[in-house]
Structure 1
Amino acid sequence: MKKGTFAKLFSVTTAVALAGSLVLPLAPQTAHADRGVVDLWKAIKPLTTIASAMNTGAHPDDEHSAMLAYLSLGKGVDTSSIIANRGEGGQNEIGSELGNALGIIRTRELQEASKVTNVTLGILSEQIDDPVYDFGFSKSPDETLSKWGEEEVYERLIRKIRELRPDVVIPAFLNEPSTHGHHRAINVITVRAFEDAADPSVFPEHLAQGLSPWQVKKLYVPASAKDYDVRVPVGEYDEIYGASYLQLGEESRFMHKSQGMGRHYDEGPSYNYYKLEKSVVPENRGNTAKEKEPDFFEGIAYTFDDLAEEVKKAAGGGKLAAELSALQKDADRVIAAYPSFARVAEEVHAMLADVRKTKAAVEASGLERAVKQDVLHRLEVKENQLSKASAEALSLVAKVRPETGELVAGQTAKVTVTAYNGGQVKWSQVKLSLHVPEGWKARATGPTSVNGLGYNQTAKAEFEVTVPSNASLFQPYQEPLITADVAVTAFETASVTHVVPADAVAVLPGFALSVSPGATVLNTLKPEEPISVKVTVKNYNPGAANSAISLELPDGWSAEPKSVPVSFAAKGETKSAAFTVKPGSSVKPGQYKVTAVARGNGKESRQGAQVIRYPHIGTTYFVQPAEVAIQAFDLNVPEGLKVGYVSSGFDNIDQYLRQVGVDVVSLSAKDIESGDLSQYDSIVLGIRAYGFRPELIPSNARLLKYVEDGGNLVVQYHKPEDKWKPELAPYPITIGTPLIQWRVTDENSKVTMLAPEHPIFNTPNKITDEDWNHWIQDRSAYNPSKWAKEYVELIKNGDSGEKEFTGTFLTATYGKGTYTYSSLVWYREIPALVPGAIRLFVNMASLKQ
């Protein structure tokens, strides 16, 4: 068949319904049917090799996607991607979620990206608020490992290596000063793990868990075209996929939408380069001279024939070697049968029977323990791959469908498991089974097996699932709560397909609470001013329910009313209750907390359930306490201050300015292009606004005229790729590159005010050294490297041992007005209610000549 047929009829951008098994729980599937001959090829190609490779990185999107696509999709290598954290400390280009909610999004994106390249995924961060957390940019691997807990993250990496037993490991980054500290840290522990994963004295507790030491055979690191050992031809065009491996890799990167990843590449030669860092391959088998290696696996067993040669040399390995060589012939017959689904299915099932027979022979053999474990692991990987190949070749479409994915403790719900035969091979038997967590009950309400299932027929089993009354609430990083197995017998051999629901199945609070605001300021200059709190309640109970809503308050505080009854006629209804909270008469600066509580139906809830839903990742949830965080401090806000805010979509500073009494108007494109700007005391541009508000650059002259006529324009940080040009400012400002060298990552670094008498430090709030305390994550990002002499340098600040920046906070008069450019990370500090940041931002927005 010509490649054009494949390219036109089948999409490889859609995730595979039956993709490779994951170290992490299988992510909910966004594709409900197989994708024909392309996915059939994707499933059978791995049968041709027993080699394996692992790529390690720090964050979602660190994976070397083109190289992974080449190895997995092109060569069939058993390929894994191990990522340290979940990207919680980054920005969000598709919504307002930050922190843990962003980590949930990026995890789902990473899972979907891994499906595109058919890669096994593992993440070292295991739960919400895990120690292995993306705490923001770091310049140091030592700082990174200290914050993560070096022993903990290292143990998890060693465990992944011992579980997956890769022949080759490739860290995504080098340990060099120009690289993110998180990236450097992963390089450090990956390189160290090359020896330690094979040492039984390193984390000996793994032996009790059934994990034996494993010696990686080669470790490669990224290199350049000038100095490399292996050149990976990612630009090779694959006729079956109708794309190059570089393009296939980018299709996976497009899944990282919250980071704006993914690029379009033209066809043509392209290469990734890697250098051999460590190896245990004997010299007579590896690359002994200075010449380049043909691939990562030079000198490493790559096929069943190669494995047979190794086993033949071991005591008692002669007969087993013959069986392993027979598996190579089986794999060749599978490939030769392509693209006939029926013929491929027959050959796959024959090979599956042979693999199981060989496994039994290996287990019964007298091979030494290490050799036996190695062969058995490779055979188990092959058995799993064959089950997936069987599902594709038989055109099995398997689904598990709960009647609802939103459950509450004590609920009973129906779950249906189906297996559809879309192929020409008649199945002799189908068995459907359901799996639920320990303590749950799953009862079949009818038959769970069918004898004989032909083309266009469906087998179905229904189950009643009961959630225990003490069931834990949903954790987004745990394994799916409900899964199914579909066992299909054809050609006298059974294969098993594991299935998960299309979207997350979650145990949620019966009454899910959300509070508004989620965080607010208590101005201790006006302690008598009450705080309005709105509580919205969603009923997740299956039917009518009644509840009473109240607030838990700090000592000495009060709320009116004390309690609000709410009743629901059906699941999914929402009701609201409004409260007026009055602080204690002698409230002092500090942090306070107000918690919403719902009591009813014999239950009590203090949690909310944030629904996270995007087309490319489906639906999931973030269950968290329903709390209002309150920061009390002194704050002066000019009466009647009116600010026009131009959001880039990456921050919500405007809502916090409104909370403290600023009249904030969100400016539309029309407002910027033709509206009356003179009505605003200040106009504030959100971070990176020039890159994401296309009307800004054509309207920049209007903004500068606004300043010239007496306005106050505040511009927050930009990257060069945000279409920033020095001349956008009234006097040129150049952003420093490389960007890694122009930021301050220590939130506790000393700040010196260079112009302490400037109004920005005095009006309406007096700024002192105390105001630079308690900042979070970073001080500044993407600092300017050059600026015109007209600017006043307001502060100097830098990381320990480095030259301090003086261009972080610049202001200048321009005509009758004021222009301020700031690289301070306001978008993190203000939602975190950092008192000094809020006081200083109000001053900045209040500047007048």
Structure 2
Amino acid sequence: MRNGKFAKLCSLATAAALAGSLVWPAAPQTAHADRGVMDLWKAIKPLTTIASAMNTGAHPDDEHSAMLAYLSLGQGVDTYSVIANRGEGGQNEIGSELDNALGIIRTRELQEASKVTNVHLEMLSQKINDPIYDFGFSKSPDETLEKWGEQEAYERLIRTIRTLRPDVVIPAFLNEPSTHGHHRAINVITVKAFADAANPDVFPQHAREGIAPWQVKKLYVPAKEDAYSVRIPVGDYDELYGASYLQLGEESRFMHKSQGMGRHYDEGERYSYYKLEAAAAAPVGTGQESGFFDGIAFTFDDLAREVTTQPGSGPIIAGLKKLQKDADNVIAAYPRFADVAVAVHAMKADLQQTIADLQNSKLSDAVKQDLLHRLQVKEGQLNKASAEALSLVIKVRAETNELVAGQKTNMSVTVYNGGQSPVNEVDVKLNLPKGWQAKAKGETSFKTVGYNQTSTATYEVTVPANAELFQPYAASLVSADVTYTFANSAATSRVAPAEPVAVLPPYAMELSPGATVLNTLKPKESIPVKVTVRNYTPGAAKTNISLQVPAGWSVVPNAASLDFASKGETQSVAFTVTASASVKPDTYTVTAVARGNGKESRHGAQVIRYPHIGTTYFVKPAELKIQAFDLQVPEGLKVGYVSSGFDNIDQYLRQFGVDVTNLSAKDIESGDLSQYDTIVMGIRAYGFRPELLASNDRLLKYVENGGNLVVQYHKPEDKWKPELAPYPIKIGTPLIQWRVTDENSPVTMLAPDHPIFNIPNKITAEDWNHWVQDRSAYNPAEWGKDYTELISNGDPGEKEYTGTFLTANYGKGTYTYSSLVWYREIPALVPGAIRMFVNMVSLHQ
């Protein structure tokens, strides 16, 4: 038994670790003395229960973190989080990455968050540009499922449920109109899957693959305090962790830094509420339950009682009861590592015997399959518990994590024993993709590894010439299985490298700009293109860089040769691209090609690196997208841009020929604002540029004296107040209702003669076509009568908004507030949006 002094020490140390982990570290954190003790507890607690639960959500951060922490860390339940997409359609609060690059970041954050709560993560989205994509905000589950491909999304969810076989499933959201369409869609298919996952006629191909139907026992949905079946005590304080489950859940949410997630909660009583929506064994009642698993087998003893009526179940019942005693012995041995290790391996031996008895039994196939699945889950947990109890530290290291096709490199697997008990018959196996080759350069089996000893297996690895380039959502390319024996039973640990081993292009190229406009009014104006090349081939290399351009276009020079002295070196080449004289409005692509040393590359490799997620890569075509259309830009237009860090419209304005200066806090507080024809506020700027609130009177004075101030959308929590505008503007709430999500929805120009629609570019109905993702977000609900309402627009079947695009004269100048999603449209090179934005910043020119 643990004594009170030990529990208190763990509590204090873990509380300190928790507090420290909420800060974004600049370097790896110092190891805490209790880390092994807590990791051991997290490894052995799941041995006490055979129950499982699954939480389904749409995006990274949808997981019910506090509830998951309670189930996994508190009760030891085998807990799964199933998330549909990668969050590609959101905003980024830590960098400039958007779309797929943001999806990669959010996926890594979700993976790290899941580690905190000891939750097994599954994703329905499987690859870059997967159909199950975060296409932006939606009000409709039908629209969501149509865009995702309802059958494909549903098949993947059913497959996941049948493979993981959870006892309880809990969608993270309800299907109600005030909820994001993606959230509603997940609820719809999760509720439907409760019955269909058990129906062999639904996706019968699964059975042919060896995946049997599975009947979830209970389905719960989120509820409120006044109408619930189960309340989860997430405020309960766990002395071992030195925190409540709510606090532990928030520790995981702090990993979602790109979304600004995570809150600090004080200790105290709190609950999460859920309603029983469906049950397989009995009709759904209205009574309250003590927990999700009322009436469901939770322990080995419960499981033994369930099979007592099965003929020939005697040996199985005896085996399950023995496993119950084994699990109790493991917990009783905590925190004595050596004793825990002995108890864990005794349980492993009994588990193997029970599995053998089960396979030889005459139990029905359904019962046998259920028991076998649960015991196999327990086998994996015992392997993890064994390594923790024996203090085995296994690491897989590559000589370099950045490889190219055809390369040879060395990889090593080290097995360090930090515990007092020696392990025997240690065998190392390096796992590689098909087509890769590994040649051992020494011993891969070791008779004994004792305390403070390290054994190392080294391999020469050959990457095939046709190796696939790095896929950020795929499982680790490289892993190692280390098998060993202790106390007369064997265990296996599978370990992957700390950083991903990535096959990258031999010459990774980035084109600058990556997207630009070709003004068809000035077709002879050339486009300067810089190609930055990073050498990933080992050692010195020589390559030839060229651009593939559309037919009839020209490029100077035709090609350029680069000599690299070593791997990792970066060099640049400058090209000039000129369109044909007869170029028409359209979308064109320029592709960079590198050839050298018998290798060819047409890709770039964006390195994504943040302290909380480590390093990963986004391999993508080395292309420049060019949108050709007519664009009038006033000569000498000078714009001051107040960036919030959430958009890069300023960069595109420069490409269009606008003179843009990014304004600092000092510029705003005391600089000469009158030198700018227009000042543009980036999205949500008031929430992230604190000097703006104090300097708002200066900005309004700038307008009053003849300036043109453009303010892009804000949320109320961005410190926005109606009186910040010269005439009040109140943002509509709830925010979910005050937006237009259909990018193809009809737009009516209410003031067609206004300069914004005429000078210098004539705006027509065509300019509202080809928009992406959304029309507008966080529209105003109320505004002063002095504003001109420029457009009317709404989602099909809904009331149209007239406050989306507002402008007013104020003194000698103009103030414009716009909730149109310019930050999406302009990087997507939507011609109409660009023409209109230029008009907006050109007022009074």
TM class by smaller structure = over 0.9
Amino acid at match of 2:389: A
Give the match for residue 23 of structure 1: none
2:13–2:242 Cα contact (<8 Å) kept: no
How do residues 320-331 of structure 1 correspond to structure 2 at under 5 angstroms? 320-331=316-327
How do residues 59-458 of structure 1 correspond to structure 2 at under 5 angstroms? 59-282=59-282, 290-458=286-454
Are 2:511 and 1:511 equivalent residues in the alignment? no
Alpha-carbon separation, structure 2, partners of 1:723 and 1:4 = 42
Deviation at 1:32, TM superposition (A): 9.6
2:806–2:817 Cα contact (<8 Å) kept: yes
Give the match for residue 771 of structure 2: 775
Deviation at 1:488, TM superposition (A): 2.6
Give the match for residue 558 of structure 1: 554
Give the match for residue 616 of structure 2: 620
Are 2:612 and 1:643 equivalent residues in the alignment? no
Alpha-carbon separation, structure 2, partners of 1:3 and 1:690 = 46
How do residues 824-843 of structure 1 correspond to structure 2 at under 5 angstroms? 824-843=820-839
Deviation at 1:15, TM superposition (A): 13
Please give the secondary structure, in 2, of the residue aligned with 1:312: coil
Amino acid at match of 2:503: V
Deviates more, 1:448-457 or 1:231-240: 448-457
Alpha-carbon separation, structure 1, partners of 2:385 and 2:181 = 41
Are 2:478 and 1:482 equivalent residues in the alignment? yes
Please give the secondary structure, in 1, of the residue aligned with 2:163: helix
Alpha-carbon separation, structure 2, partners of 1:46 and 1:281 = 25
Amino acid at match of 2:748: T
Distance change >3 Å, CA 601–CA 674, structure 1 → 2: same
Give the match for residue 734 of structure 2: 738
Give the match for residue 9 of structure 1: 13
Please give the secondary structure, in 1, of the residue aligned with 2:472: coil
Are 2:563 and 1:567 equivalent residues in the alignment? yes
1:56–1:172 Cα contact (<8 Å) kept: yes
Amino acid at match of 1:692: F
Distance change >3 Å, CA 14–CA 618, structure 1 → 2: farther
Amino acid at match of 1:785: A
Distance change >3 Å, CA 622–CA 31, structure 1 → 2: farther
Alpha-carbon separation, structure 1, partners of 2:793 and 2:66 = 39
Give the match for residue 714 of structure 1: 710
- Structure 1 vs Structure 2 CA RMSD: 1.5
Please give the secondary structure, in 2, of the residue aligned with 1:162: helix
Alpha-carbon separation, structure 2, partners of 1:204 and 1:360 = 29
Please give the secondary structure, in 1, of the residue aligned with 2:255: coil
Please give the secondary structure, in 2, of the residue aligned with 1:803: coil
Distance change >3 Å, CA 606–CA 58, structure 1 → 2: same
Please give the secondary structure, in 1, of the residue aligned with 2:434: coil
Give the match for residue 25 of structure 2: none
Please give the secondary structure, in 2, of the residue aligned with 1:710: coil
Give the match for residue 492 of structure 2: 496
Deviation at 1:8, TM superposition (A): 3.7
Please give the secondary structure, in 1, of the residue aligned with 2:561: strand
Deviation at 1:274, TM superposition (A): 0.3
Distance change >3 Å, CA 38–CA 396, structure 1 → 2: same
Alpha-carbon separation, structure 2, partners of 1:557 and 1:663 = 28
1:637–1:842 Cα contact (<8 Å) kept: yes
Are 2:759 and 1:763 equivalent residues in the alignment? yes
Please give the secondary structure, in 2, of the residue aligned with 1:461: strand
1:430–1:459 Cα contact (<8 Å) kept: no
Deviation at 1:604, TM superposition (A): 1.1
1:12–1:241 Cα contact (<8 Å) kept: no
Give the match for residue 788 of structure 1: 784
Deviation at 1:615, TM superposition (A): 0.5
Deviates more, 1:38-47 or 1:67-76: 38-47
Q: Deviations over 1:439-467 (max 9, x none)?
A: 00011110012222222111111011100
Give the match for residue 24 of structure 1: none
Give the match for residue 25 of structure 1: none
Q: Deviations over 1:174-221 (max 9, x none)?
A: 000000000000000000000100011111111122110000000000
Amino acid at match of 1:209: E
Amino acid at match of 1:224: K
Deviation at 1:12, TM superposition (A): 5.9
Deviates more, 1:298-307 or 1:442-451: 442-451
Please give the secondary structure, in 2, of the residue aligned with 1:94: coil
Deviation at 1:379, TM superposition (A): 0.2
Please give the secondary structure, in 2, of the residue aligned with 1:79: strand
Amino acid at match of 1:245: Y
Q: Deviations over 1:620-673 (max 9, x none)?
A: 101100111000011111100000001111111000000010000011111111
Distance change >3 Å, CA 89–CA 312, structure 1 → 2: same
For structure 1, list consecutive stretches of 5 or more residues without a partner in the other structure: 17-28
Alpha-carbon separation, structure 2, partners of 1:32 and 1:578 = 48
1:43–1:389 Cα contact (<8 Å) kept: yes
Are 2:685 and 1:681 equivalent residues in the alignment? no
Alpha-carbon separation, structure 2, partners of 1:787 and 1:383 = 63
Please give the secondary structure, in 1, of the residue aligned with 2:348: helix
Q: Percent identity?
A: 73
Alpha-carbon separation, structure 2, partners of 1:560 and 1:666 = 32
1:595–1:606 Cα contact (<8 Å) kept: yes
Q: Deviations over 1:547-580 (max 9, x none)?
A: 1111000010001110001010110001111001
Amino acid at match of 1:744: V
Please give the secondary structure, in 1, of the residue aligned with 2:455: strand
Please give the secondary structure, in 1, of the residue aligned with 2:261: coil
Please give the secondary structure, in 2, of the residue aligned with 1:696: helix
1:180–1:740 Cα contact (<8 Å) kept: yes
Please give the secondary structure, in 2, of the residue aligned with 1:697: helix
Please give the secondary structure, in 1, of the residue aligned with 2:307: helix
Q: Deviations over 1:589-616 (max 9, x none)?
A: 1111111111111111110000011111
Are 2:546 and 1:542 equivalent residues in the alignment? no
2:315–2:357 Cα contact (<8 Å) kept: no
For structure 2, list consecutive stretches of 5 or more residues without a partner in the other structure: 22-27
2:124–2:132 Cα contact (<8 Å) kept: yes
Deviation at 1:291, TM superposition (A): 3.1
Alpha-carbon separation, structure 1, partners of 2:18 and 2:824 = 34
Deviation at 1:487, TM superposition (A): 1.7
Give the match for residue 24 of structure 2: none
Q: Deviations over 1:775-799 (max 9, x none)?
A: 0000000000001111110000000
Alpha-carbon separation, structure 2, partners of 1:422 and 1:35 = 13
Amino acid at match of 1:830: I
Deviation at 1:430, TM superposition (A): 1.9
Deviation at 1:30, TM superposition (A): 10
2:771–2:830 Cα contact (<8 Å) kept: yes
Distance change >3 Å, CA 32–CA 568, structure 1 → 2: farther
Give the match for residue 19 of structure 1: none
Alpha-carbon separation, structure 1, partners of 2:20 and 2:490 = 25
Alpha-carbon separation, structure 2, partners of 1:548 and 1:376 = 58
Amino acid at match of 1:697: L
Alpha-carbon separation, structure 2, partners of 1:503 and 1:448 = 23
Amino acid at match of 1:86: R
